[in-house]
């Protein structure tokens, strides 16, 4: 504030005849800042000051609360959190009114002047006249010494100006003041950089004197890393986009950007929010999913809030109310899915009046986010966000009975099959979110919640059906999200949801069609993405949905789209992955359409819809307004598309992506120069021979043409802002013009352009910003002119003509250097590497080196390739390269390796054709090793230490004849070379070998199918998932120790020797590729396999299993659940069942009778849900031993209907232990069998052995052991 303005304001505060002052200015000019300064001046003049933000629409009660807080009559949320919340009571409206009136009267009696500041008025939406008519401000207006300060963006509010009204127009800053503000707002690291001195004046000038733009850009620059700072400063100075857009472009993608756009959407309609509420909205929308801990989700939200505040995208006002920086309203959302693509509920566009009242006084506490109150006063809770595990610490049925005033309920990861009935009594509930409720299979209670406006039941993978009248009473619903359910159809009563605006059915993979929805005329968001079986709409046209903003049918089976026209609010049509879509309707009169995505719509032969955008019959003077907003077109993977239609009227296009449209050959357009806003073109893997003229595309930053095998000529002259040019694999390109003009290029990839003539040395002269350069397999001869201080990747593989490299000083930031096969360089001297202190990847293969000791200084090295480097005999430098991940010494003269103990990060060790290398050092420390190649080397002994390398996937031993002692091998990798192994001798009782994944067996079968059968007889294989997919991240690493123990086989009664036996352990999904093993297997142990729901989970009913052990397969409810299971059981001789936590019966009632006449031994233990064993008639004629232990719910072993129907004529042993609910055994057995019964208090049996009735078993067998 200049001194003249300050004097004018002080005089105004002292005058009696000018009660109103209006600050006028454009967005971002500093009106709010000025209003705060005036408030400070007023304080100095002994004024009482009240501040009311006009970005929030107020009612009487909210205004009373705001005034009461500022007059210190109410506690803030933060104060309440510190105080004893038991003593805090909600003020009644009358009480609050009385307190405010008394305080204002006290100010009046003290003859103290009062300043009322009304900030950010927008008269057309909500003017000061409306606000001042509300009751609380009528009281304020009655003050004798009252002055009103109003800030707003324009003065034309249609009201007559009062003579006593004074206006001050806030002007933009001068160029000098703008630069001064920029300097004070950036941190020292930025202001001291060379780029700041070079570009700061241009940035200040580009701000147009708007403090908001300068502060936003400064906040963005302060977050840029040192490596990218100069480029960011130049971009901000020279980019044609406004400074605000540049600042937004520096936001980190992902959750921070998503939260910003939520604020943009929300605050555009409703103003500001307390930060606790704002973070709660973010959590409810799903920006921090999956939520495993509600309070940690809140912490993430708070971190995002601070980032946006630090970047000045958001502003914090009095009482911790957050508002949006008004200047950001001009930024356009170019994200593919927009706001609705990342939000789950769309609360900002749904809630009447702006915000959920139930979220007042909400705060994180005790593992929840809830209304602030005593933990015992659940009745006062109006909003609750809680994790399912925390909810189960309460009794849900009783909890909801106590919360009859609940308005908002959000539960994450709900572990209930059915909802408590008391939920249906929550008559005030407006928002219900059940996210991640995979066990939930019944939601009927929700149908009674008549006031619901928002309903999400997502991730309900057990929900297969909803009653048809479910929506009959939910007529106020505005947002419905059923994503991730297993529903095949929706209730017809969905047509009654006439208020519905958001319909989200993402990942409903069994949903094939919808009922009629034409009555949902208010629909704005329609998302069926990844509903992979959906194929049909009953509506022929979508023109009835006049308010529709987004249609997302990505990855559905839709064949034809309903007619889409005259939808004036439609911004996005997303049809990515619609592989059955053969035709697109005309897209007429869609004036706000921004993004059209047809990627991987492989059946589309032509895009007639795009033609209609150009030739829609609209008069030429109106056509631009109808289609000019289309900014992004995605046709990736449209394999039948041969020609791109004319784009003449798509003047707003920014992104054109036709990559992998493998039939695309030509363009209607001779030039793309009418597309002046184009930012990115991707034509990779198409058949184009040449491109339309690009000479005037001064905004083009990305030109991607990799794998365009037919491309012959390309002129890139004029593309002055190009950042990335990718021509990799364009093997027929023989003409490239304009390369030397690309001064802003950061990435250049010409690898594989083998037909390209010699690249001129001066081509790189002006590329001072180049970061990545790949010229592999080109004819380049010299790079002496390359002098980019930013270069971090230089790949020159197989550049056989290359003779001159850049100077070593220009390579000081290099992280990747690949000179493999650049033989024309001659002998490479150590001086080349003098300044490379950041090197991480070095490939000098097939080159001549003077010496190798210089490698030891590259302590950051991750990859080192020295293949075919003659003269390399020893590698003492390895001890210094502790971060090395890949080491390739293939075809060198190395004769010994130094200790590998420090190379614990090594994942690939390549020693192929190291003929002088006879011994390997210890490999035990290589705990991350995945690939070991000792093919054709001089190694003389099998590397037995691989048994301790749990992550090893590939062992290559081609042409390596070694004798193998199989008893020493405990583990084998998936890729294993069998070709050079000597014939396996007899190995005694089966050695146990652990294998991760099924690749080992698939390769063995390909090599020799007879060997597979032989190996399965000689060895016992334990097959676990690949380490990265194993349950618990690697809980099977020590499984080999268990299976090597003799007790393992004795307990399972598995035979040792010449019987194909395996164990499957830890698979959540069926292990594809194991079929060839199971076909040969007779004995199988199944441990902790989530895919097993019955024996038929093994994938075939033709297996000849004789021994089966089932342990901790947590999804199994029945061993024999259908006839496929029964068929698999016909050959079983031993069945052992242990720790199946969901097992309800051995044999489902659906099966009826069962024939297990080969079964001789049955053992069941620790199955807590098991209630019954076998049906009435069960064929177990050869059963000799039965043991059942620790099954606390088991009531009967054989189904019992009053008479005994099952017989066990060959039974020799019967053991029944700790079965407290067992009442009947239900089968006859020989009289000479003496049952061993312990702790079965309800069991009755006769001395004869008939268990149907008789004397108490405990009297006969009390205390007998198993």
Residue 134: its pLDDT value, please?
61
Residue 1150: its pLDDT value, please?
72
Neighbours of 361 (CB within 10 A): 22
| Residues 572, 551 contacting (CB under 8 angstroms) | yes
Structure tokens at 682: 């991707």
Burial of 644 (0-12, 13-18, 19+ CB in 10 A): buried
Least confident of 273-287, 348-362, 1018-1032, 1224-1238: 348-362
Give DSSP secondary structure letters for 305-331.
HHHHHHTTSEEE-GGGEEEE-GGGGG-
Residue 1246 has pLDDT above 80, yes or no: no
Query: pLDDT band at 127, cuts 50/70/90?
Result: low
| Tens of pLDDT, residues 559-574 | 988 988 889 899 999 9
Residue 747: its pLDDT value, please?
95
| Tens of pLDDT, residues 311-355 | 888 888 777 888 888 778 778 888 888 888 889 999 887 755 445
CA gap 979, 1198 in Å, rounded: 54
Residues paired with residue 225 on neighbouring β-strands, in sequence order: none
| Tens of pLDDT, residues 509-562 | 999 999 999 999 999 999 999 999 999 899 999 999 999 999 999 999 999 889
Residue 917: its pLDDT value, please?
93
C-alpha closest to that of 620 among 593, 596, 648: 648
User: Mean pLDDT in the chain?
Assistant: 83
Backbone angles phi, psi at 606, to 5 degrees: -150, 160
* Residues 6+ positions from 45 with CB-CB distance below 8 Å: 10, 13, 14, 113
Residue 435 has pLDDT above 70, yes or no: yes
Neighbours of 611 (CB within 10 A): 15
Which of residues 1034 and 812 earns the better pLDDT score?
812
Residue 507: its pLDDT value, please?
94
Q: Specify the pTM.
A: 0.74
Residue 18 has pLDDT above 50, yes or no: yes
Residue 75: its pLDDT value, please?
60
Query: pLDDT band at 1048, cuts 50/70/90?
Result: low
**C-alpha distance from residue 1254 to each of 163, 482, 1203, 1227, 1242 (Å):** 108, 56, 13, 14, 12
Residue 417 has pLDDT above 60, yes or no: yes
Residue 251: its pLDDT value, please?
82
Residue 489: its pLDDT value, please?
92
Structure tokens at 1181: 């004629």
Mean pLDDT of 362-367: 81
DSSP state of 155: S
Indicate if the alpha-carbon torsion angle 848, 849, 852, 857 is positive or negative. negative
Residue 163: its pLDDT value, please?
47
Residue 141: its pLDDT value, please?
61
Residues paired with residue 502 on neighbouring β-strands, in sequence order: 479, 525
CA gap 718, 673 in Å, rounded: 11
Bin 718: left if φ > 0, else alpha if -120 < ψ < 50, else beta: left
Residue 685 has pLDDT above 90, yes or no: yes
Query: pLDDT band at 622, cuts 50/70/90?
Result: very low
Residue 327: its pLDDT value, please?
75
Which of residues 572 and 1032 earns the better pLDDT score?
572
Residue 1207 has pLDDT above 80, yes or no: yes
Residue 1035: its pLDDT value, please?
42
Query: pLDDT band at 759, cuts 50/70/90?
Result: confident
Pairing of strands 362-365, 368-371: antiparallel
C-alpha closest to that of 1064 among 1099, 1098, 1094, 1013: 1098
CA gap 211, 37 in Å, rounded: 15
Structure tokens at 353: 């009046």
* Residues 6+ positions from 63 with CB-CB distance below 8 Å: 52, 131, 134, 135, 136, 137
| Residues 961, 942 contacting (CB under 8 angstroms) | no
* Residues 6+ positions from 1014 with CB-CB distance below 8 Å: 984
Residue 928: its pLDDT value, please?
92
**C-alpha distance from residue 598 to each of 151, 591, 594, 656, 972 (Å):** 47, 19, 13, 11, 46
Give DSSP secondary structure letters for 971-1021.
EE-SEE--TTBPPPPP-SS--EEEEESSHHHHHHHHH-HHHHHHHHHH-EE
Structure tokens at 345: 């509920």
| Tens of pLDDT, residues 54-65 | 776 677 777 777
| Tens of pLDDT, residues 259-286 | 998 988 888 766 778 889 899 999 999 9
Structure tokens at 1031: 């349950």
CA gap 538, 91 in Å, rounded: 53
- How many CA within 13 A on the CB side of residue 743? 8
Pairing of strands 1196-1198, 1172-1174: parallel
C-alpha closest to that of 491 among 479, 509, 507, 473: 473
CA gap 91, 96 in Å, rounded: 6
* Residues 6+ positions from 1253 with CB-CB distance below 8 Å: 1244, 1246
Residue 9: its pLDDT value, please?
77
CA gap 938, 914 in Å, rounded: 6
CA gap 268, 275 in Å, rounded: 16
> pLDDT over 90 for what percent of the chain?
35
CA gap 137, 139 in Å, rounded: 5
CA gap 105, 125 in Å, rounded: 32
The size of the chain, in residues, is: 1266
| Tens of pLDDT, residues 1078-1115 | 998 999 999 999 888 888 888 887 888 999 999 999 88
Residue 302: its pLDDT value, please?
94
Rounded to an integer, what is the distance from CA 848 to the centroid of its chain? 47
DSSP state of 517: -
Which domains, from first to last, does the chain contain?
3-169 (3.40.50.300), 175-249 (no CATH), 255-349 (1.10.10), 512-684 (3.80.10.10)
Mean pLDDT of 1211-1224: 93
Mean pLDDT of 405-423: 90
C-alpha closest to that of 13 among 29, 32, 37: 37
Neighbours of 205 (CB within 10 A): 14
Query: pLDDT band at 1129, cuts 50/70/90?
Result: confident
| Tens of pLDDT, residues 787-832 | 888 899 999 999 999 999 998 888 988 999 999 999 998 888 888 8
CA gap 756, 712 in Å, rounded: 9
Rounded to an integer, what is the distance from CA 493 to the centroid of its chain? 33
Which of residues 1217 and 198 earns the better pLDDT score?
1217
| Residues 591, 626 contacting (CB under 8 angstroms) | yes
Structure tokens at 528: 């069926």
DSSP state of 92: P
Helix, strand, or coil here: 283?
helix
Residue 691: its pLDDT value, please?
92
Most confident of 224-233, 375-384, 686-695: 686-695
Query: pLDDT band at 683, cuts 50/70/90?
Result: very high
Query: pLDDT band at 1002, cuts 50/70/90?
Result: confident
Residue 226 has pLDDT above 50, yes or no: yes
Residue 916 has pLDDT above 50, yes or no: yes
Give DSSP secondary structure letters for 837-865.
-S--EEE-TT-EES-SGGGGG-TT--EEE
Residue 88: its pLDDT value, please?
45
Query: pLDDT band at 1260, cuts 50/70/90?
Result: very low
| Composition of the chain by helix, strand, coil, percent to 5 | 25, 20, 55
At which residue do the structure tokens 């000025």 appear? 34
First CA to last CA distance, the chain? 92
> pLDDT over 70 for what percent of the chain?
86
DSSP state of 805: P
* Residues 6+ positions from 467 with CB-CB distance below 8 Å: 444, 447, 491
Residue 831: its pLDDT value, please?
86
Q: 290 preceded by cis ω (within 30°)?
A: yes
| Tens of pLDDT, residues 1160-1198 | 999 999 999 998 888 756 778 899 999 999 999 999 888
Residue 1226: its pLDDT value, please?
84
Residue 84: its pLDDT value, please?
45
* Residues 6+ positions from 935 with CB-CB distance below 8 Å: 912, 913, 956, 957, 958, 959, 960, 977
Indicate if the alpha-carbon torsion angle 332, 335, 338, 342 is positive or negative. negative
Residue 1211: its pLDDT value, please?
93
**Rg of the chain on CA atoms, in Å:** 38
Structure tokens at 642: 């041969």
């Amino acid at each position: 504030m200049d001194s003249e303005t300050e004097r004018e304001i002080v005089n105004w505060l002292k005058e009696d005849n000018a009660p109103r002052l209006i600050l006028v200015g454009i967005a971002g000019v500093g009106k709010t800042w000025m209003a705060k300064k005036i408030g400070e001046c007023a304080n100095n003049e002994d004024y009482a000051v009240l501040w009311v933000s006009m970005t929030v629409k107020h009612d009487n009660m909210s205004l009373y609360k705001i005034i009461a807080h500022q007059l210190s009559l109410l506690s803030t949320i933060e104060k309440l959190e510190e105080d004893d919340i038991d003593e805090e009571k909600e003020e009644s409206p009358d009480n609050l009114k009385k307190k405010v009136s008394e305080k204002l009267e006290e100010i009046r009696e003290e003859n103290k002047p009062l300043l009322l500041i009304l900030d950010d008025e927008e008269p057309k939406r909500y003017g000061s006249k409306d606000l001042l008519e509300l009751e609380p401000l009528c009281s304020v207006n009655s003050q004798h010494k009252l002055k009103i300060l109003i800030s707003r963006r324009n003065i034309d509010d249609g009201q007559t100006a009062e003579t006593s009204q004074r206006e001050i127009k806030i002007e933009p800053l001068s160029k000098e003041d703008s630069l001064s503000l920029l300097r004070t707002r950036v941190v020292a690291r930025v202001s001291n950089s060379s780029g700041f001195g070079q570009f700061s004046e241009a940035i200040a000038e580009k701000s147009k004197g708007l403090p908001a733009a300068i502060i936003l850009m400064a906040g963005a620059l302060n977050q840029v890393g040192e490596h990218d700072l100069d480029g960011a400063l130049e971009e901000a100075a020279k980019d044609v986009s406004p400074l605000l857009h540049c600042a937004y472009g520096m936001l980190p993608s992902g959750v921070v950007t998503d939260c910003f756009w939520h604020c943009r959407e929300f605050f555009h309609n409703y103003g500001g929010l307390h930060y606790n509420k704002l973070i709660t909205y973010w959590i409810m929308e799903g920006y921090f999913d999956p939520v495993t801990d509600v309070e940690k989700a809140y912490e993430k939200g708070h971190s995002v809030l601070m980032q946006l505040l630090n970047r000045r995208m958001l502003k914090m006002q009095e009482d911790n109310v957050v508002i949006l920086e008004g200047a950001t309203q001009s930024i356009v959302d170019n994200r593919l899915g927009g706001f609705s693509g990342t939000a789950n509920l769309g609360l900002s566009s749904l809630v009447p009046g702006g915000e959920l009242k139930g979220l007042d006084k909400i705060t994180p506490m005790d593992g929840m986010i809830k209304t602030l109150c005593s933990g015992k006063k659940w009745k006062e809770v109006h909003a609750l966000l809680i994790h399912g595990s925390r909810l189960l610490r309460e009794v849900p049925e009783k909890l909801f009975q106590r919360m009859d005033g609940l308005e908002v309920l959000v539960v994450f990861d709900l572990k209930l099959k059915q909802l408590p009935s008391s939920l249906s009594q929550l008559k005030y509930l407006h928002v219900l979110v059940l996210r991640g409720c995979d066990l939930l299979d019944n939601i009927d209670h929700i149908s009674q919640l008549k006031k619901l406006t928002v309903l999400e039941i997502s991730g309900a993978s057990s929900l297969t059906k909803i009653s048809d009248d479910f929506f009959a009473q939910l007529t106020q619903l505005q947002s419905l999200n059923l994503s991730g359910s297993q529903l095949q159809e929706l209730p017809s009563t969905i047509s009654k949801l006439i208020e519905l605006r958001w319909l989200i059915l993402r990942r409903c993979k069994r949903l094939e069609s919808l009922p009629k929805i034409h009555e949902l005329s208010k629909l704005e968001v329609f998302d069926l993405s990844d509903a992979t079986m959906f194929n049909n709409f009953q509506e022929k046209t979508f023109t009835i949905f006049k308010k529709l903003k987004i249609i997302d049918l990505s990855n559905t089976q839709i064949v034809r789209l309903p007619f889409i026209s005259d939808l004036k609010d439609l911004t996005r049509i997303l049809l990515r992955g619609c592989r059955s879509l053969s035709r697109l309707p005309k897209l007429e009169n869609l004036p706000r359409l921004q993004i059209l995505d047809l990627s991987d719509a492989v059946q589309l032969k032509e895009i007639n819809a795009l033609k209609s955008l150009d030739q829609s019959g609209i008069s030429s003077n109106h056509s631009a307004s109808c289609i000019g907003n289309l900014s992004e077109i995605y046709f990736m993977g449209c394999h039948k598309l041969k020609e791109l239609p004319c784009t003449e009227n798509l003047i707003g296009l920014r992104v054109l992506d036709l990559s992998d449209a493998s039939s695309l050959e030509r363009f209607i357009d001779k030039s793309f120069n009418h597309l002046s806003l184009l930012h990115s073109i991707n034509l990779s893997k198409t058949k184009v021979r040449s491109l339309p003229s690009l000479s005037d595309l001064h905004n083009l930053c990305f030109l991607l043409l990799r794998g365009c095998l037919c491309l012959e000529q390309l002129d890139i002259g004029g593309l002055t802002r190009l950042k990335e040019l990718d021509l990799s694999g364009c093997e027929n390109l023989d003409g490239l013009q304009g390369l030397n003009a690309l001064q802003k290029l950061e990435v250049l990839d010409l690898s594989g352009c083998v037909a390209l003539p010699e690249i001129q040395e001066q081509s790189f002269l002006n590329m001072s910003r180049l970061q990545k350069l790949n010229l592999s397999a080109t004819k380049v001869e010299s790079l002496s002119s390359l002098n980019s201080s930013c270069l971090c990747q230089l790949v020159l593989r197989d550049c056989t003509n290359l003779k001159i490299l850049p100077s070593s000083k220009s390579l000081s930031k290099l992280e990747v250097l690949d000179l493999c096969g650049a033989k024309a360089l001659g002998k490479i001297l150590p001086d080349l590497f003098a300044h490379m202190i950041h090197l991480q990847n070095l490939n000098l293969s097939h080159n001549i080196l003077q010496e190798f000791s210089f490698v030891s200084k590259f302590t950051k090295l991750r990859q080192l390739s020295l293949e075919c480097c003659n003269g390399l005999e020893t590698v003492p430098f390895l001890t210094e390269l502790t971060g090395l991940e890949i080491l390739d010494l293939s075809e060198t003269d190395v004769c010994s390796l130094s200790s590998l103990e420090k190379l614990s990060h090594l994942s690939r060790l390549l020693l192929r054709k190291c003929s002088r290398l006879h011994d390997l050092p210890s490999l035990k420390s290589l705990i991350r090793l995945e690939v070991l190649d000792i093919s054709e080397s001089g190694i003389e002994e099998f590397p037995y230490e691989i048994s301790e390398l749990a992550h090893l996937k590939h062992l290559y031993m081609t042409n390596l004849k070694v004798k193998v002692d199989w008893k020493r091998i405990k583990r084998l990798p998936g890729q294993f070379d069998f070709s050079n192994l000597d014939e396996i001798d007899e190995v005694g009782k089966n050695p146990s070998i652990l294998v991760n994944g099924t690749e080992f067996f698939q390769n063995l079968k390909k090599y020799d199918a007879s060997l597979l059968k032989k190996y399965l007889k000689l060895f016992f294989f334990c097959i676990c998932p690949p380490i990265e997919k194993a349950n618990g991240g690697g809980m099977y690493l020590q499984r080999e120790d268990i299976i090597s123990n003799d007790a393992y086989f004795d307990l399972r009664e598995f035979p040792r020797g010449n019987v194909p036996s395996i164990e499957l352990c830890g698979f959540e999904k069926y292990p594809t590729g194991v079929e060839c093993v199971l076909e040969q297997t007779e004995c199988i142990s199944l441990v902790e396999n989530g895919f097993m729901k019955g024996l038929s989970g093994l994938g075939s009913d033709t297996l000849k299993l004789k021994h089966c052990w089932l342990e901790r397969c947590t999804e199994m409810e029945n061993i024999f659940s259908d006839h496929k299971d029964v068929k698999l059981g016909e050959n079983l001789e031993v069945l052992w069942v242990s720790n199946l936590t969901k097992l309800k019966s051995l044999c489902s009632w659906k099966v009826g009778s069962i024939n297990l006449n080969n079964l001789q031994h049955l053992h069941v233990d620790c199955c807590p849900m098991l209630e019954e064993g076998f049906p009435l008639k069960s064929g177990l004629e050869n059963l000799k031993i039965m043991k059942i232990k620790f099954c606390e719910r088991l009531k009967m072993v054989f189904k019992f209907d009053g008479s005994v129907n099952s017989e066990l004529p060959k039974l020799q042993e019967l053991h029944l232990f700790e079965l407290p609910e067992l009442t009947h055994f239900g089968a006859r057995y020989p009289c000479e069998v003496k049952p061993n019964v312990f702790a079965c208090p309800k069991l009755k049996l006769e001395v004869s052995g008939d268990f149907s009735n008789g004397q108490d078993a405990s009297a006969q067998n009390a205390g007998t052991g198993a």
